[in-house]
Structure 1
Amino acid sequence: MSLATSFSSKFPSPLHWDKQSGGRVNSRWLEVTDTRVKYIGPGSEDKDAASVRADTPVPPDSSVYYYEVAVINRGRDGFIGIGFATSEVPLDRLPGWDSHSYGYHGDDGCAFKGSGKGNAYGPTFTTGDVVGVLFDRVDCCISFVKNGIDLGVAFADVPLEERLYPCVGLRTPDEEVDANFGASPFVGDFPGMVAECRERLTERVLATPLPGRGKAGSLLGELVFGYLQHHGHWETAAAVGRDVLGGAVSVSQADIADARSRQAVAEAAAAGRVEEAVDMAEALVPGALAAQPAVLFRLHCQRFLELVRARDDEGAMRYGRSVLSGAAASDQDQELLQDALSLLAYEEPEASPCGELLGAKAREDAAAALSAALLAHSGRSAQSALERCLAQLGAVRRELVQLGDASAAMLRFDKSLPSNGMLL
């Protein structure tokens, strides 16, 4: 992935200048070699200007795109323009002089957008300077950076439907530049630019008003209360119910006792005491495992795995013949059974291709499946409402990213919850 974007794109990113993009003018007046461009034309008048585009446009699914241009030689007058342009823009003029073209010029520090008359913007630039160009598709703007210093927004309200190409133009003899499209580290702090963009977007999301009231008076408070209660944080849940929801909801002793019983079942399974966990589950929620044959089979397999772990191969084979052989009902069950049985062929089963079945994660997965089955049979969800909302947010975000939404690509919902409450 190119350094020019912090997001994985299904589209190609610019790699070099397209020396064929300018046609006859460029072949006569520009010497283009990969990422380097040198002006070799007459340079007498504005009509002698020549520009070149990158080989591909900015990926349309990139939220933030950045590239840099190093000024190798300012040439006679330093009439160097750097920016973006669409493929329809003629390349016999500097960037920014035509519609759908945006440029920052080195000789006067002006920013040009669709006109030969520029607006005062930043400092001039010359030999040895490095100019960065940032296209922010979240805020629909283009900014420039000189030698690592952010010069601020040059162009606002940039239409997102425009397919913009990195572009550079030269006009007087010996002007020469070299572009960095991400093949090497940038002078500018591109990760910092991305972080600032994400922070601005986060602030806007957090400023979005939520429905003020739920059944208990606060929709957000109810979600937090439900999450804390679901995961056994009783004291904190009670505090939220009292202080945020005004006592409209509370944690009952029955809820605590039920959750602790389920937790004890899960802990037994996670510790490898499968028979004990099954007996406890049946006593707590009768019929739960009979209603979930796949979970019951998973627990039977876990019991077999515990025998293998204990090096009781004879007991494992007896258990396999008497319990497991006829219990696999689905293709997934059959696959798990074959993997488990294969462990008996190895003197050191932990080192076998299926050795992960003897690890702690296999126990934890079985315990989680058992807990979910108990909740489901009791008419409750294995996840809290807050976690279900988060899962839905993730699904919506993935769909929006596929549709090319720049803001959605910037946000992430698979990270931890920071102090400001926004998932990024």
Structure 2
Amino acid sequence: MNSSNRSAPAYWEKGSGSRGNSRHLEVSGQRVKYIGPGSADKDAASVRANTYVSPSHAIYYFEVQIVSKGRDGYIGVGFCTADVNMDRLPGWEPQSYGYHGDDGNAFRSDGKGRRYGPTFGTGDVIGALLNRAEHTISYFKNGIDLGTAFTDVSEEKLYPCVGMQTHEEEVLANFGDAPFKADVESMKVEAARRLEAQISQTALPDRGKVGSILAELIFDYLVHHSYFESAAVVARDLLDGAVEVSPKDRDEVRLRAGVAEAVIAGRIDDAMSDAERVAPGVLQAHPSILFRLHCQKFMELVRQRDDEGAMVFGRTVLVKAATTGEDQELLQDALSLLGYDDPASSPCGNLLGTKAREDLAKSLTAAILKQTGRREHSALERIECQLEAALGTLQNLGDPRIGLIERAGPGNAFK
């Protein structure tokens, strides 16, 4: 399957942290061949990719085809930081990791390897997987997963690297320009599923009689949006009757919904009267909304083509009610409607549209909720907003887990 790494390195380059063994390597783009003496460990030489793996990559994978194992197959494949001594094989120096073909051992930061996988040689394709979300490095041989080689991999800037030591060893890298042997997309999906499972298994605090926080959130959401029958079912079946929809809740929500419906229908006097009934003092506490309601009443008169009534209302109520600069701007836009034979097609014709009514209804509803000590949005909706903000922050910080969250499918914990 052809799956490339975004911002993938395109070629090998000789590192600066070497004593001169780079001359033992013949480097051409993604191909490297050992041409040195290859008589001892001191003759080893490595190259690294021209750029490091972005910290935002949750899953990064590259492959190395063993064109020739050369004399002894002392070939290492892995990752390293920029300041690693490149006169050594991957994994022999601090902050480097390598899987070696001659013995199948995995090396991490020293020359003492541990048994890991099979040996590899001419014709084999070795894949290296850096999983930043789980802080691991794994390897693949000819597309087959060999399992986790290293855990607790914490270096921020790691470069793909390969090293050799004996004559005629030669490799060709694939950084995603050609199809991989391994199924990288499946790796990413599985990693996303593991992350989701980890989140799902997080223990929530005991709430005593009310055992399900999620059920509480659903109940609150349903009541908030007037779905009383559904809320009653949730209370009965999921919360064991520990909560209920009170008559007061029903009356208040219905009155609040009635206020919004009156505004959208253009019945502004009814809306103001009902608003004061459900939340006494709300209009006095929110003078800007009160002025918008007056303007809306004026515009309803304009819509009805009652120009005389609109002019009287504008002169006796609207002009006197405008107290702020924002009020004055809205007043001028509203009064300008009277200068057109077809106010709806005028530059300020949007004031007569349905959206203007809906926006006003939303603002008035928010004011009523605030006046009665309630929030504009349900707890579940606030959590969703907080989650989106948190994900945005993690994305800006380059957290690699974001890539897995974006890859998760519909209906899971991230959607």
Compared with structure 1, are the counterparts of its residues 240 and 177 closer, same or farther at alpha carbon in structure 2 (3 Å cutoff)?
same
Q: Distance in 2 between matches of 1:338 and 1:3?
A: 58
Post-superposition Cα deviations, 1:104-127, rounded to whole Å, max 9, x if no partner, equal 234554432234454443455566
Q: Which has the larger radius of gyration?
A: 2
Q: Give the direction of change, closer, same or farther, for the CA distance of 1:397–1:80 in structure 2 (3 Å limit).
A: same
* Separation of aligned partners in 1, 2:336 and 2:236: 55
Separation in 2, partners of 1:214, 1:286: 37
Q: Once the 2 structures are TM-superposed, how far is the Cα of residue 101 of structure 1 from its aligned partner?
A: 1.3
**Residue 206 of structure 2: which of 191, 212, 216 is its match?**
212
After superposition, give the CA deviation of every residue in 1:326-365 in whole Å (9 maximum; x if it has no partner).
737366x7787899899999x998898x998887665544
**Which is further off, 199-208 or 370-379?**
199-208
1:225-304 correspondence to structure 2 within 5 Å: 225-270=219-264, 277-297=271-291
Cα distance change, pair 22–246 in 1 and its aligned pair in 2 (3 A): same
CA contact (8 A) 1:397 1:409 kept: no
Question: 192-201 or 217-226: which moved more?
Answer: 217-226
- TM-superposed CA distance for 1:216, in Å, is 4.9
1:144 is aligned to 139
**Residue of structure 1 aligned with 2:78, choices 83, 90, 94:** 83
Matched letter for residue 5 of structure 2: A
Q: Which residue of 2 aligns with 1:9?
A: none
Q: Distance in 2 between matches of 1:98 and 1:292?
A: 68
2:184 and 2:11 mapped to 1: Cα distance?
19
Q: Partner of 2:195 in structure 1?
A: 201
- Quick one: which amino acid aligns to residue 67 of structure 2? N
TM-score (norm 2): 0.75
Aligned residues: percent identity? 49
Cα 1:357/1:67, change in 2 over 3 Å = farther
Mapped to 1, the partners of 2:237 and 2:365 lie a distance apart of 30
For residue 322 of structure 2, what is the aligned residue in structure 1? 327
Report the CA distance shift for 1:163/1:283 in structure 2 as closer, same or farther (over 3 A).
same
Contact 1:328 1:337 in 2 (8 A): no
> 1-side partners of 2:253 and 2:132: how far apart?
47
Residue 98 (1) aligns with residue 99 (2): no
- Shift, 1:287, TM fit: 3.0
Question: Larger deviation: 289-298 or 334-343?
Answer: 334-343
Task: Return the letter of the residue paired with 1:418.
Answer: G
What's the offset of the Cα at 1:285?
Answer: 3.0
Query: Which of 162, 168, 172 in structure 2 is aligned with 1:173?
Result: 168
- Given that 2:219 and 2:235 are in contact with CA atoms closer than 8 Å, whether structure 1 keeps it comes out as yes
Structure 1 residue identity aligned to 2:250 = I
Structure 2 gaps, min length 5: none
**SS of 2:239 mapped into structure 1:** coil
Q: State whether residues 21 and 44 of structure 2, in contact with CA within 8 Å, keep that contact through their aligned partners in structure 1.
A: no
User: Secondary structure of 1:249's match?
Assistant: coil
Shift of 1:43: 5.2
Distance in structure 1 (CA, Å) of the matches to 2:103 and 2:197: 36
Q: Contact 1:300 / 1:324 at 8 angstroms: preserved in 2?
A: no
**Aligned positions of 1:344-423 closer than 5 A:** 363-395=357-389, 418=411, 422-423=413-414
Contact 1:30 1:37 in 2 (8 A): no
Q: Higher relative contact order at CA 8 Å, sep ≥6: structure 1 or structure 2?
A: 2
Structure 1 residue 176: deviation in Å?
A: 3.2
Contact (CA 8 Å) 2:15, 2:86: kept in 1 or not? no
CA distances 1:21-68 after superposition (whole Å, capped 9, x unpaired): 35563652334455x1322522533433321223343334x2614031
1:299 and 1:156 map into 2 onto residues whose CA distance is 63
SS of alignment partner, residue 146 of structure 2: strand
CA contact (8 A) 1:15 1:55 kept: yes
The Cα of 1:166 is off from its aligned counterpart by: 1.9
CA distance in 2, matches of 1:350, 1:124: 78
Rounded to whole Å, the distance in 1 between the matches of 2:64 and 2:22 is: 22
- TM (norm. structure 1) is 0.74
Root-mean-square deviation over aligned CA pairs: 4.6
CA separation in 1, counterparts of 2:385 and 2:405?
A: 14
Residue ranges of structure 1 left out of the alignment (5+ in a row): 6-11
Question: Partner residue of 2:38?
Answer: 44
C-alpha separation in 1, matches of 2:389 and 2:254: 32
Q: Which of 23, 28, 37 is the matching residue for 1:28?
A: 23
Residues 79-118 of structure 1 show CA distances to partners (whole Å, capped at 9, x for unaligned) of: 4322111223211122122232111234554432234454
Correspondent of 2:62 among 58, 68, 84? 68
Conserved? CA contact 1:29–1:40, under 8 Å: yes
What is the CA–CA distance in structure 1 between the aligned matches of 2:332 and 2:140, rounded to whole Å?
Answer: 60
- CA drift at 1:263: 2.3
Instruction: Give the whole-Å Cα distance in 2 for the aligned partners of 1:334 and 1:15.
Output: 61
* DSSP 3-state at the match of 1:175: strand
| Contact in 2 for aligned 1:241/1:250 (Cα 8 Å) | yes
Over 3 Å counting, the alpha-carbon distance change for 1:39 and 1:383 in structure 2 is same
The AA in structure 2 aligned to 1:85 is C
Determine the C-alpha separation between the residues in 2 that align with 1:288 and 1:30.
79
Q: Which moved more, 1:79-88 or 1:390-399?
A: 390-399
Distance 1:90 1:131 in 2: 23
Query: What's the CA shift for 1:155?
Result: 1.0
Matched position secondary structure for 2:283:
coil
Distance in 1 separating the partners of 2:107 and 2:336: 70
**Cα distance in 2 between the residues matched to 1:293 and 1:380:** 19
